[in-house]
Amino acid sequence: MKYCVIFGAQSYEHEISIVSAITLKDVLHRDLSFIFCDQHRDFYLIDPSKMKSKLFSSGDYKKESKLFLKEGGFYQKSFMKEKKVEFDILINLVHGGDGEDGKFASLFTFFGIPFIGPSLEASVLSFNKLYTKWYAKERGIKTLSYELLQKGSYDISIPFPVIIKPLRLGSSIGVSIISEQSELEYALDVAYEFDDEVLVEPFIDGVKEYNLAGCKGDDYIFSIVEEPHKEKFLDFDKKYLDFSRTKQVLQADIDESVVEKLKENFIKIYENSFEGALIRCDFFIIDNEIYLNEINPIPGSYANYLFEDFSSVIDELSKHLKTEKTISIGYDYIHNIQKAKGK
Amino acid sequence: MKYCVIFGAQSYEHEISIVSAITLKDVLHRDLSFIFCDQHRDFYLIDPSKMKSKLFSSGDYKKESKLFLKEGGFYQKSFMKEKKVEFDILINLVHGGDGEDGKFASLFTFFGIPFIGPSLEASVLSFNKLYTKWYAKERGIKTLSYELLQKGSYDISIPFPVIIKPLRLGSSIGVSIISEQSELEYALDVAYEFDDEVLVEPFIDGVKEYNLAGCKGDDYIFSIVEEPHKEKFLDFDKKYLDFSRTKQVLQADIDESVVEKLKENFIKIYENSFEGALIRCDFFIIDNEIYLNEINPIPGSYANYLFEDFSSVIDELSKHLKTEKTISIGYDYIHNIQKAKGK
């Protein structure tokens, strides 16, 4: 199986996608190729041996082979010919905009390219934190209470401390925790820089947080449960380092019964929606009840550090990708109308 | 202002999109060009004078100029050159899959093509009837009670009569109204042909139904309120004819206060979500309360027959399209890491 990793793109998380891709190169022990989508959305084929962060930050990637996207895949132009980039499955590794908002899923589905990553609908569900709440509720999983603010609004009624998040970003970008009114306006302005809509939730200091990654192969495959280390919460700088992790971490020190409960909740979220993706669900446990904090449908370097045999997990997922049903169009209605008109 | 209408695509509503486009040619009195997306998702530039249904049903469209999509628009290849199809704004007229499910919005946004039609997120909200209910609730608008069934399930608890709908289609495709248990399995199987998930709602015979179309220009622009004629409900054949309507219909015979209430509810739905689109909201009135039935984000031939001066409405909408903020990527984090590593 030959995989191609696509990363970068027009996203606030462009740089962590680069780090994530470099990391994946080290941990996914398979035949790999790499496609970089730059901030202008031009595609380049990157020689695996050149996968260093400097290639991208220096702009030197522009010397690599430019690609274009069309039916069936990515192509290089050479003289009068077009040469297809050969791979079996594309791995969507674009965090944030383009990759997690549904655009890449749309492009790859439209152009018939098999890919690992959330579907169009699953992307939108997990990218918009409000939709995630609606979805969790439908599936019988609690989430924190919230208020949704539109750009220009500064009134909240949730008591301090609160956590303020741009509605549609990941990786803690634009997120603030504030404990008093005097900090509110600035924190909201920061969040409004990234989104016209902002979500406010109560901030629960010391809340128990557990991350569980997984996917559906023949059966569900789960990672270990991780209790993320945090100082109040992970800011972007710290999370950034998170995307380059390659060593397996230890299972959180929790009862097996809790692990089982987390897995049950993971399945409730994944089933009939996230097939084809390897996702990480971030849960809270409050008063012995499980809450969904967020769904990360393209976790940093695919959360490789939570799995014992990461490469095999990707192989098994590859055999169970989501495919779109092709509709055959027979023009029956138009023929009938033409007949009725005597044409 | 030069418009280009894109229609067809890999959709159960492919044929009605063709009818819709032919109709639009007659009612949108502006400089127009046409791009046909065939069922294989190949694009063709269609000479306006050739816009007849037979061109498509016969396959003759394949003799027209083939196009490809890339940054900035659609291009023709001629000898060694590429020639861009010139237009100011693309009008998304693909009903159902590809057009209304978010794929086209993704493609046009990704490749920087200004378009009239629902955004990616708005598409997903209106395409999935369950998400529409969640959304309406958040905006304070009632919808009918429901049950969601997964393929293979045949048990419902809503009392008969019920209406059965594939979760993600429009135009009454796969929809049945059934009044007794003996009809249930067949009706569900029909719906499962089109979607793995099916929505069941109570069917209210004789319910008052009102359609209101509109968009946001400098201010909200509304159509007249239409009371659709129906025999029980419009099936696909009858709705099909609906897509070719060109004559303005009459305002429903209702109080001005009801019209105002419908407009208020329309704004609740449109605001901060459907900007850039001309949508039609289909409402029920039950016991003097307004219910949202569905949001049609690309109504047949853009519901031209509900507006007095349709072409001007499109012109005004064009001045208020939704645009994506461009992120400038400076590689600060990667530079910092490189510095820290002394590289």
Per-residue confidence (pLDDT) for residue B89, from 0 to 100: 98
Which has more pLDDT, B193 or B248?
A: B193
Peptide bond into B161 cis (omega under 30): yes
The pLDDT of residue B172: 80
Kindly report the nearest CA distance between residue A39 and chain B, in angstroms: 7
pLDDT of residue B239: 57
Structure tokens at A38: 């730059």
Structure tokens at A240: 């950034």
Show the tokens assigned to A210: 């557990």
Quote the pLDDT of residue B338. 79
Does B249 lie in the same domain as B197? Answer: no
Nearest to A242 by CA among A222, A228, A232: A228
- Containing H/E element for B104? helix B103-110
The verdict on residue B216 lying in a domain is yes
Cβ distance B188 to B198 under 8 Å?
yes
Within 8 A of A272 by CB-CB distance, chain B residues are 150, 196-197
Residues of chain A with Cβ-Cβ distance to B195 below 8 Å are none
Lowest mean pLDDT among A222-231, A258-267, B284-293: A222-231
- Residues of chain A found within 8 Å of residue B109, distances taken between Cβ atoms: 103
Query: Domain containing B44 — which CATH number?
Result: 3.40.50.20
Is pLDDT larger for residue B24 or for residue B173?
B24
A134 with A256, same domain?
yes
A227 touches chain B (CB under 8 A): no
* Most confident listed range (A139-148, A240-249, B245-254): A139-148
Under an 8 A CB cutoff, do B150 and A331 touch?
Answer: no
Whether A128 and A89 share a structural domain: no
Reply yes or no on whether the pLDDT at A29 is more than 70.
yes
Rounded distance, CA A208 to CA A171, Å?
Answer: 19
Q: Which residue of B has its CA nearest to A110?
A: B103
Distance from CA of A256 to the nearest CA of B (A): 31
Q: Give me the residues paired with residue B75 across strands.
A: B68, B84
Task: Say yes or no: A79 and A215 in one domain.
Answer: no
B247 and B133, same domain (yes or no): yes
Between A206-220, A234-248, A296-310, the lowest mean confidence (pLDDT) is in A234-248
Residue of A nearest to B136 (CA): A134
pLDDT band at A195 (very low <50, low <70, confident <90, very high): very high
Q: Hey, are the CB atoms on A107 and B110 less than 8 Å from each other?
A: yes
Residues of B in contact with A333 (CB under 8 A): 15-16, 237, 240
Does A36 reside within a domain? yes
pLDDT at residue A252, as a whole number: 81
**Residue B97 forms part of a structural domain:** yes
Say what the pLDDT of residue A231 is: 53
pTM confidence score: 0.95
- What's the DSSP call for residue A167? T
Please give the mean pLDDT across all residues of chain A. Answer: 93
B267 interfacial to chain A (CB closer than 8 Å): no
Give dist(CA A31, CA A29) in Å, integer.
Answer: 7
Residue labelled with tokens 């003097």: B288
Contact A54 B343 (CB under 8 A): yes
The residues, any chain, with a CB within 8 Å of residue A291's CB and separated by 6 or more, are A141, A142, A143, A144, A283, A284, A285
Q: Which B residues 4-23 touch A at CB under 8 Å?
A: 10-12, 14-16, 18-19
Position B36 in a domain:
yes
> Would you say residue B23 lies in a domain?
yes
Beta bridge partners of A270: none
Length of chain A, in residues? 343
Q: Which two tokens stand for residue B148?
A: 């969601």
| pLDDT confidence tier of residue B230, bands split at 50, 70 and 90 | low
Phi, psi of A266, deg, nearest 5: -60, -45
pLDDT digits (tens, 9 = 90+) for A51-86: 999 999 999 999 999 999 999 999 998 777 889 999
ipTM: 0.94
- Give B221-239 as a DSSP string: EEEEEE----SSS--HHHH
The verdict on A10 and A106 lying in the same domain is: yes
Q: Find tokens 């595609």 and name the residue.
A: A43
Domain match, B36 and B93 both: yes
Residues in CB range of A290: below 8 A, 6 or more apart: A141, A142, A261, A262, A265, A283, A284
Enumerate residues 76 to 105 of chain B having a beta carbon within 8 A of any beta carbon in chain A. Answer: 97-98, 101-103, 105
Total domains present in chain A: 3
Split at pLDDT 50, 70, 90, the class of B241 is low
Judgement on whether residues A229 and A132 belong to the same structural domain of the protein? yes
- Please indicate whether, in this complex, the C-beta atoms of A19 and B334 are within 8 angstroms of each other: yes
Q: Which of A187, A202, A217 is the last residue before a domain boundary? A: A202
Looking at chain A, list the stretches that DSSP marks H as alpha helix, in order from N- to C-terminal side: 14-27, 53-57, 103-110, 120-127, 129-138, 184-194, 236-242, 256-270, 310-318, 332-340
The encoded tokens of residue A79 equal 């003289």
Beta carbons of B39 and A109 less than 8 Å apart? no
Same domain for B235 and B313? yes
Please check whether residues A128 and A217 belong to one and the same domain. Answer: yes
- A312 pLDDT above the threshold of 60: yes
Categorize the per-residue pLDDT at B274 as very low, low, confident or very high, splitting at 50, 70 and 90.
very high
Tell me the count of A-B CB pairs closer than 8 A.
140
Same domain, yes or no, for B183 and B223?
Answer: no
Q: Is the same domain home to B70 and B132?
A: no
pLDDT score recorded for residue A242: 66
Can you tell me the mean pLDDT for B153-164? 97
CATH assignment at residue B173: 3.30.1490.20
Q: How far is CA A282 from CA A211, A254, A296, in A?
A: 4, 15, 8
Residue A236 banded pLDDT, cuts 50, 70, 90: low
Domain that holds residue B17: 2-117
> Would you say residue B335 lies in a domain?
no
pLDDT at B247: 73
The verdict on residue A338 lying in a domain is: no
Q: Mutate which of B52, B100, B110 to disrupt the A interface (most A C-beta within 10 Å)?
A: B110
Least CB-CB distance to A333: which of B15, B101, B329?
A: B15
The whole-number pLDDT of residue B27 equals 96
Does residue A343 sit within a domain?
no
Distance (Å, rounded) from C-alpha A205 to C-alpha A192? Answer: 24
CB atoms B327 and A240 under 8 Å: no
C-alpha distance from B162 to closest chain A C-alpha (Å): 21
CA distance B74 to B6: 11
pLDDT at A239: 57
**The CA-based dihedral angle spanning residues B257, B258, B259, B260, taken in that order and rounded to the nearest 10 degrees:** 50
Checking if the pLDDT of A247 tops 80, the result is no
Looking up residue A292, the CATH number of its domain turns out to be 3.30.470.20
Q: What is the pLDDT of residue A77?
A: 87
Average pLDDT estimate for B61-86 = 92
